[in-house]
Structure 1
């Protein structure tokens, strides 16, 4: 229904004076000196304190990333044809009334320079594909979806015709699926939903600008506090290669890192810009990011995941007499430490086996209580690259998240 191929060019200037920021964005580099002066004037108007900005060694570097079949070289007509094929597969399924297939890619080159001597050029592609099907039987409507993405590798979105058909069929099957009685259950999360859970419910709380600006969170997110068992390790890092949240330097010229947030169940780190690192007396992590040149960089996640352990999926469900296996995701909300997530798929677990498909369910709880109730972590880490992150009006920012299968005791389940 809609095809576009926009092109944009621009930049921004940030100035820091006595703790105050000035910011100017532009679509053309004409009179760049005047834009620098304007940013400085703005900073002087609000700067009334002391500048806190972590020291970083200047860097001069140039990096270009090109995938073997990079999406930036694939003709627009071929991308349109692929979307139409997936739409045809979905719409050929009886009882499916609506399909939404959205493909998005971009190539960008970012040049960063600062007054400390850094000059960094980074370029590369990013792409994402979202398939969804909506089935109807009278007044009953159910939906199912699939999301994938990559750092420009077009082959990751090719050949998904079978998955598109399975997605449509699952939406139809949900029309006759039974509902799960609300209550507390042993719940097993697949890698996709567990990754979304750790990103949304815990990752955002680990972004230091949120913690620094919120007194209650400063009291809760204290380094050294235990949040889970010794088997629980949560990390974030752009230095993990090959993922949508990967890069060499962030948008302040800080080298990418691999940061433990929780190690052996204990809070040991958080994500920083140069400013938050200085204000909190902690090390930089390379997590200052802007979605494009219209915005200043803020603290953002990159690739966030739970480290794998040694428990197999069969062992994990084998100990459950009655429970729920949840997969994929529809969405969710978080408010401080409370969360609500909608699972894309749900199945009964009965006497150690995955049983019938259920109507979609909602998981609700307190993130800190829930982390304490994670009693088994699988050996099958998978990274989900089909989503994007939003914060401070900047969306969608390329990220990835992942996990092995995890098992949670006493998880509150309700019908969607």
Structure 2
């Protein structure tokens, strides 16, 4: 997989020496990837493919203006560099401000703990998908539609910059998604599960219970009553906590969202209190073994761990070198691109809420009428507003779990909801199912984590009852 990229190193060095004097900053990123994509709808194969992709990108910055070009023929690289430089010089009319980062010369590979999926045949991967599809369909005759998706990708990149960075980095990522839809008359319910790994193919082969649970939830929900829309005290499980911190808060912490929006920058003022003193929120690629983990970002900035909220107060945000330079802060190693077709932009890595000190059973204490929500079914955010659908839910009555309910959506304003955290559980779970989308780059691997949370004044099931 590495022959072509290795042979290109001398060429990159020669081109960098030739063109870098014409701009303030120049970066060339080569990428080679190979992967598998399988998608089964019912027993029908919709996608069954293996492929290799080779290409690269050029980024040039001149007087604050950026030029970008991508390519998949190494012989055209000089022309693409000229195009990127011409674009940068055309739009640049200010000052190039990039946070200082020490140049790096390194070769690094994210370690695996088990089998590399490239050692597994396409036939075996297809058989695994068939197995999980059979589980979904076997749960109940009311299951009318099922889907199974498997994907893996092995990537190697070489990054060379005008500042002296020469970086090689490689990793392997895997993901599986499952869905089962059950129907009874006009009632339709769906159960979903998603999981991923950068550790071992074996992580994809032990999901029978998880897959069966998705179908069982769809069937069980057919006979459940819908939740009565109202404002409740809600307890959410760690999976929903991870989804909440990523979708509702994490994107607002990406500095390109703030420096381009003066109103949001004012709201996201460092030092502002957003939650209780027990609240600690982090993002970082430095923790090992997660889907958002790496050694260096796509600008060659070392991975780090950034505390975003400390004791309930906003103390940090996520940066590329440009956003850090413009805001006078340190680069955090959060510039990422999905592939060579796209420029790096500010993206989350692994985002989590630190565990608290409240025993999980105590989160339910004194709730006269509330909702306990677990797992996720879907969701969306719009700025500081969010709506999430729970995969499972129960009413809470007099501090105890009561009847299960369906059609539970949780809606609110992220800043209000952070302030309405009443207690933080002492449990914690890492969810490796994340595929994040932003700026047209969808499916970027991330990790999310958190403890159970108790939240007051959450709108459940639609508009609050009057």
TM-score, shorter chain, exceeding 0.5: yes
Match of 1:63 among 97, 108, 112: 108
CA distance in 1, matches of 2:149, 2:400: 35
User: Structure 1 residue 356: deviation in Å?
Assistant: 2.3
Q: Where in structure 2 are the equivalents of 1:185-264 lying within 5 Å?
A: 185-264=232-311
* Structure 2 residue aligned with 1:81: 127
* Structure 2 residue aligned with 1:381: 428
Are residue 46 (structure 1) and residue 91 (structure 2) matched?
A: yes
CA distance in 2, matches of 1:13, 1:270: 27
* Structure 2 residue aligned with 1:314: 361
- Name the one with the larger strand percent: 2
Alpha carbons 2:179, 2:190 under 8 Å: kept: yes
* Structure 1 residue aligned with 2:78: 33
Alpha carbons 2:281, 2:307 under 8 Å: kept: yes
User: Structure 1 residue 415: deviation in Å?
Assistant: 5.5
User: Structure 1 residue 152: deviation in Å?
Assistant: 4.3
Alpha carbons 2:230, 2:462 under 8 Å: kept: no
SS of structure 2 residue aligned to 1:386: strand
Report the TM-score when normalising by structure 1.
0.98
Are residue 90 (structure 1) and residue 90 (structure 2) matched?
A: no
SS of structure 2 residue aligned to 1:135: strand
CA distance in 1, matches of 2:211, 2:383: 36
CA distance in 2, matches of 1:160, 1:96: 19
Question: Which has the larger displacement, 302-311 or 35-44?
Answer: 35-44
CA distance in 2, matches of 1:81, 1:270: 44
| Residues 245 and 206 of structure 1, relative CA distance in 2, 3 Å threshold | same
Structure 2: runs of 5+ lacking an equivalent: 1-44
SS of structure 1 residue aligned to 2:52: coil
CA distance in 2, matches of 1:328, 1:352: 21
Q: Where in structure 2 are the equivalents of 1:98-113 lying within 5 Å?
A: 98-113=145-160
Aligned length: 416
Q: Where in structure 2 are the equivalents of 1:259-408 lying within 5 Å?
A: 259-408=306-455
Are residue 172 (structure 1) and residue 224 (structure 2) matched?
A: no
Moved over 6 A (4+): none
Alpha carbons 2:110, 2:294 under 8 Å: kept: no
* Structure 2 residue aligned with 1:4: 49
Alpha carbons 1:381, 1:402 under 8 Å: kept: yes
User: Structure 1 residue 66: deviation in Å?
Assistant: 4.2
Are residue 117 (structure 1) and residue 164 (structure 2) matched?
A: yes
CA displacement 1:327-353 (0-9 Å, x = unmatched): 111222222211111111111112222
Are residue 139 (structure 1) and residue 186 (structure 2) matched?
A: yes
Structure 1: runs of 5+ lacking an equivalent: none
CA distance in 2, matches of 1:331, 1:161: 22
